[in-house]
């Protein structure tokens, strides 16, 4: 279908409600612009990052994404179906755009002029503006003013914390018209410029080089193992879900909503149980926090900056996440393990108060060294391995009664060290069956290092 002919141009002044001094932009957009396209223009010219939900209010009717109106109480009409000239037909017309329902950034839009289009001019176009856009998640216009007070006053109690939060520098008067129009003309350019080649945050470049070198030396069996690992495949599933569905985080924690939890888990290699019946009791999950396989990957994706989102924010892929999806399977596995080993707080795998004070110094270093000392393919006693690691790292558990402390510490080692390495294909395990209180369960009996794991751990 051919694009609609542009006959008229709307000159619109966009002002951030209650900003003093005013933060504003003046834009030229085609009369045939759809509201979802206008949303993209406003995000670009203002300087927002499109992390949150939005809506337009025109003649007291709400336009936006109907999926964001889950209960239908707002009566949201699909913004993709309407063009400006169908809803806004005269000069002097006013309407409103709201971004981020938590911080509630209200933008007043005023149609100053309706002009004939000019031949050779590329629309949309920003022709004027003043002052920088507030930072994402600063809290709203009142909190933004408090933020400015803090960063400009070295004696302010929040001065250094706010400077650290914003990255050391923020100029509220900054506005570059050429930069804004360059982004309008090349909407993908900024993301590409920010990161031409993906490097997980804070990871030593030598580690990335080792991952690449290691992956290039794998044989066909090892390549097939990397491809088949459920951990890697499930991460790809999660990132693709963010890319395609852009789910919104819950208001309380920012985790995925239950519908998204069910949708993602159904696509996992081994879909986790979301409900179960034991005796007369029926159990079902209440939040993403109840589904460890998903929560673990979600945390890794967030920590490794493969995805970004949060409370009432859209979870979406970052430039790093896009790059991750294009890497070969072994490199993906290496990056995920590096994120876990270097960046993540291992206590998420054993969230019990006994680890509140943190892990012993050099715990990860010693765990790595001890794992690499294992001989490829040789079964060793798990209890012996765990007890040696507990002693070498001086891992303790705060309890007056020390009767079962060693068993607890072995469980800590299993959850923090062994389970992740099994999932990454580094270790294989043998279990023994045990019965307790009439219930059968598995007990980790022996472990062995794989040749795949030897090389992968060597990259660390």
pLDDT attached to residue 203: 59
Q: CA 344 to CA 35: how far, in whole Å?
A: 40
pLDDT at 193 over 50: no
pLDDT at 198 over 50: no
CB 77 within 8 A of CB 66: yes
Strands 61-64 and 77-78: parallel
What one-character-per-residue DSSP string does 74-126 give?
S-PEEGGG-BHHHH--STT-EEEEEE-TTTTEEEEEEEEEEEE--TT--SSEE
pLDDT at 194 over 50: no
Q: How confident is the model at residue 352 (pLDDT cuts 50, 70, 90)?
A: confident
Q: Is 11 strand, coil or helix? A: strand
Strands 275-278 and 94-99: unpaired
Kindly report, residue by residue over 5-43, the tens digit of the pLDDT.
678 999 999 999 999 999 999 999 999 999 999 999 999
Show the domains of the chain with their CATH numbers.
Answer: 8-131+175-193 (3.10.290.30), 196-344 (no CATH), 354-452 (1.10.10)
The share of the chain scoring above pLDDT 90, in percent, equals 62
**For the chain, how many residues are written?**
460
pLDDT attached to residue 191: 45
Q: CA 238 to CA 306: how far, in whole Å?
A: 10
Q: How confident is the model at residue 77 (pLDDT cuts 50, 70, 90)?
A: very high
Kindly report, residue by residue over 209-267, the tens digit of the pLDDT.
888 899 999 999 999 999 999 999 999 999 999 999 999 888 778 899 999 999 999 99
Q: What's the sign of the alpha-carbon dihedral 6, 11, 17, 21?
A: positive
pLDDT at 192 over 50: no
pLDDT at 144 over 70: yes
Highest mean pLDDT among 66-75, 365-374, 397-406: 365-374
CB 412 within 8 A of CB 395: yes
For the whole prediction, is pTM greater than 0.85? Answer: no
Q: Is 26 strand, coil or helix? A: strand
Q: Region 357-368: what's the mean pLDDT?
A: 90
Q: CA 362 to CA 392: how far, in whole Å?
A: 10
What one-character-per-residue DSSP string does 304-320 give?
TTSEEEETTEEEEE-HH
Integer-rounded Cα radius of gyration of the chain:
27
Q: How confident is the model at residue 119 (pLDDT cuts 50, 70, 90)?
A: confident
Q: How confident is the model at residue 439 (pLDDT cuts 50, 70, 90)?
A: low
Sheet holding 54-58, edge to edge: 77-78, 61-64, 54-58, 94-99, 105-116, 8-16, 24-30, 125-130
pLDDT attached to residue 302: 92
Angle (CA) 105-106-110 rounded to 5° is 145
pLDDT attached to residue 394: 92
pLDDT at 201 over 50: no
pLDDT at 1 over 60: no
pLDDT at 339 over 70: yes
Rounded to the nearest integer, the mean pLDDT of the chain is 88
């Amino acid at each position: 279908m051919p694009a609609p002919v542009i006959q008229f141009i709307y000159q619109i002044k966009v002002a951030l409600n209650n900003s003093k001094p005013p933060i504003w932009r003046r834009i030229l957009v085609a009369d045939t612009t759809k509201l979802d396209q206008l949303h993209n223009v406003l995000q670009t010219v203002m300087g927002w990052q499109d992390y949150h939900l939005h809506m337009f209010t025109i003649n007291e009717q709400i336009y936006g994404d109907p999926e964001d109106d889950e209960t239908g109480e707002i009566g949201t009409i699909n913004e993709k179906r309407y063009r400006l000239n169908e809803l806004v037909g005269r000069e002097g017309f006013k309407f409103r755009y709201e971004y981020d329902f938590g911080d509630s950034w209200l933008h007043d839009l005023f149609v100053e002029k309706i002009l004939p289009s000019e031949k050779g001019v590329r629309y949309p176009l920003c022709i004027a503006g003043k002052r920088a856009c507030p930072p994402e998640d600063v809290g709203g216009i009142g909190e933004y003013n408090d933020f400015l007070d803090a960063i400009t006053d070295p004696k302010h109690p929040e001065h250094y914390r706010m400077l650290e939060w914003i990255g050391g520098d923020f100029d509220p008067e900054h506005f570059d018209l050429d930069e804004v129009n360059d982004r309008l003309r090349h909407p993908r350019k900024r993301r590409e410029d920010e990161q031409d080649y993906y490097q997980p945050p804070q990871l030593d470049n030598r580690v990335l080089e080792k991952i690449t070198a290691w992956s290039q030396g794998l044989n066909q069996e090892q390549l097939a193992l990397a491809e088949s690992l459920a951990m890697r495949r499930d991460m790809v599933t999660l990132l693709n879900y963010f890319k395609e569905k852009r789910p919104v985080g819950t208001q309380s924690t920012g985790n995925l909503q239950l519908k998204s939890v069910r949708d993602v888990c159904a696509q996992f290699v081994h879909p986790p149980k979301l409900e179960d019946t034991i005796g007369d009791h029926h159990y079902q999950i209440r939040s993403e926090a109840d589904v460890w396989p998903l929560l673990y990957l979600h945390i890794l994706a967030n920590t490794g900056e493969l995805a970004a989102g949060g409370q009432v924010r859209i979870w979406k892929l970052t430039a790093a996440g896009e790059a991750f999806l294009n890497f070969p399977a072994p490199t993906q596995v290496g990056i995920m393990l590096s994120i876990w080993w270097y960046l993540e707080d291992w206590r998420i795998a054993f969230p019990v108060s006994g680890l509140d004070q943190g892990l012993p110094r050099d715990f990860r270093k010693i765990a790595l060294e001890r794992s690499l000392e294992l001989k490829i393919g040789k079964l060793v006693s798990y209890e012996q391995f765990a007890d040696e690691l507990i002693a070498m790292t001086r891992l303790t558990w705060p309890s007056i009664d020390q009767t079962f402390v060693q068993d607890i510490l072995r469980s800590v080692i299993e959850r923090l060290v062994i389970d992740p390495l099994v999932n990454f294909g580094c270790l294989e395990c043998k279990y023994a069956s045990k019965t307790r209180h009439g219930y059968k369960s598995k007990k980790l009996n022996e472990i062995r290092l794989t040749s795949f794991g030897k090389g992968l751990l060597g990259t660390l």
